[in-house]
Structure formats: structure tokens, C-alpha cells
Structure 1
């Protein structure tokens, strides 16, 4: 990422826990997992198991 924007994000506790588990399984930070899933959702990442 060339340009980054810091935000505060509020998540339900169960969603946070799920994302944290997914990040650990994928060997990503929680931030990288969220960014990856957003990129996949908008079609900018080829495979779901790619590391951003």
C-alpha cells in the first residue's frame, strides 16, 4: 500500500474473535486479514489464500 489511512473500527466481539482466528490460521496480522478480505470482496485479490 502506497497510501494508508488510519481508522478506528468498532466490531462486535464475536466478529472480532472470528477475524482474529482467521488471521492466525492465515498467518496474517488482524489488520492484514481485514484488508485482505476487503480486497477479495472488491475483486482486487486473485486467491483467498494469498498473503497481502
Structure 2
């Protein structure tokens, strides 16, 4: 990552709880879990768009 941006993110409580549990099981912080999931999805979308 070249530059970082801070955002405020509002999540439904159940989604937050699920992400926290997923992060814990993967030994990641909540922030790292969210970034991991967004980057994974971004890569999948980019791959799907490639000819």
C-alpha cells in the first residue's frame, strides 16, 4: 500500500461480531481482516474482468 486513508465504518452488530470472530480465528486484527477480505474480493473481480 502506497498511501493509507482513514475511514469511519458503520457495521451492523451481527456483521461486526462475525468479522471479529473470523479475524480471531485467522490470528488477524479486525482491520487486517477487513483489508484482507476487500483485497481478496478486489483481486477476484479484477481477474473476472481480465480477457
TM-score by length of 1: 0.80
Cα RMSD of the aligned pairs, angstroms, is 1.1
Kindly report which structure 2 residues correspond to 1:1-52, keeping only aligned pairs within 5 A, or say none. Answer: 1-43=1-43
Greater helix percent: which structure? Answer: 2
Unpaired runs of at least 5, structure 1: 45-52
Shift of 1:2: 2.4
Q: How many residues align?
A: 44
Bigger Rg, which one = 2
Unpaired runs of at least 5, structure 2: 45-51
Higher relative contact order (CA 8 A, sep 6+): 1
TM-score by length of 2: 0.81
